[in-house]
Amino acid sequence: MSPSQESVFTEYETDTSQTSKLIRKFKETPFVPIGMAGFAAVVGYGLYKLKHRGDTKMSLHLIHMRVAAQGFVVGALTCGVLYSMFRDYMVKPKE
């Protein structure tokens, strides 16, 4: 790119550190990190409960843990989509 041309992506080029990029992404889509944290929490809790599962087979316990983790992530993404639709169509002023 020649020096006389302005860059179209100036906002994205100024954020050079990984932390600032991550913070910007979290502000744009807040439900994605919530889904990731919920997934980690469900998996952590499931692994903790693995020791005290009683008579339940391990495969059944792992299936329940997987379904719970996937359900949390899908729920968080659904809430994120509904939030962005609400923000774009209901709150956004008509042009």
pLDDT of residue 7: 58
32 close to 83: Cβ distance less than 8 angstroms: no
Contact 66, 42 (CB under 8 A): no
Against a cut of 0.85, is the pTM above it? no
- Domain map (residue ranges) of the chain: 18-91
For residue 50, the model assigns a pLDDT of 83
45-92 per-position pLDDT tens digit:
988 888 888 888 888 988 988 999 899 889 988 988 888 888 888 876
Supply the pLDDT for residue 92. Answer: 67
- Residue 6 is predicted with a pLDDT of 60
